[in-house]
Amino acid sequence: MNRLHQFLLIGSFLPLCWLGMMAVHELGHVLAAWGTGGGVERVILHPLSFSQTFVAPNPQPMIVVWSGPLVGVTLPLLVWGVFYAARLPGAYLTRFFAGTCLIANGAYIGAGSLGRIGDAGDMLRMGTPMWVLWLFGLLTAPAGMLLWNGLGRRFGLGEARGRVDQRAAYVSASLLIATVATMLLLSK
């Protein structure tokens, strides 16, 4: 029975982290667009596609494009910091989520620069030097791995032998269902 809760936690929390990472990243673009006098035409947040934000007019495209990954790593770190400082239950989940956001945004910008894809391609076309994108990736992705380090037992791995917090498993599964439902409803 322990493994059931472990599978539920891992099987729901990994996709929840991915979807949450996309949402926080796009939130950065949206907030920057609004903050610089731009307009948000459309945001694509769908569980079966990559997220995207379309901004027009976009008076400060460099700020808008960089705000996705910057907010995408900073906001999750702040949330984890609050959970950690307040010793709230589930702090390890917010730590894992922050690590996921650091790794995903770092890889997206750092490795994306090589193929000039997505935000990384836009950054390069707007004049950001390649080394800046690589530096962002080299700082964030390993930091995310450091945040993940030591969390295995909380997810039932190793000596934990499948034991996890059952409440965390149910909350994670419920949040995943709610997130997917919301994304599907908003994408129509």
The one-letter code for the residue type at 176 is L
User: Mean of the per-residue pLDDT values for the chain?
Assistant: 97
Which pLDDT score is estimated for 1?
55
Over its length of 188 residues, how does the chain's per-residue pLDDT go in tens digits? 569 999 999 999 999 999 999 999 999 999 999 999 999 999 999 999 999 999 999 999 999 999 999 999 999 999 999 999 999 999 999 999 999 999 999 999 999 999 999 999 999 999 999 999 999 999 999 999 999 999 999 999 999 999 999 999 999 999 999 999 999 999 87
Which pLDDT score is estimated for 55?
98
- Structural contact between residues 109 and 133, judged by C-beta atoms closer than 8 angstroms: yes
Helices 2-35 and 166-186 meet at what angle, rounded to 10?
A: 40
Which pLDDT score is estimated for 137?
98
Residue corresponding to tokens 């950054």: 123
Which pLDDT score is estimated for 187?
86
DSSP 62-93: HHHHHHHHHHHHHHHHHHHHHHHHTT-TTHHH
- Supply 142's token pair: 């390993």
Which pLDDT score is estimated for 2?
65
- Tell me the residue ranges of DSSP E strands in the chain: 40-44, 52-55
Question: Closest Cα to residue 76, out of 51, 50, 100?
Answer: 100
Q: pTM of the entire structure?
A: 0.96
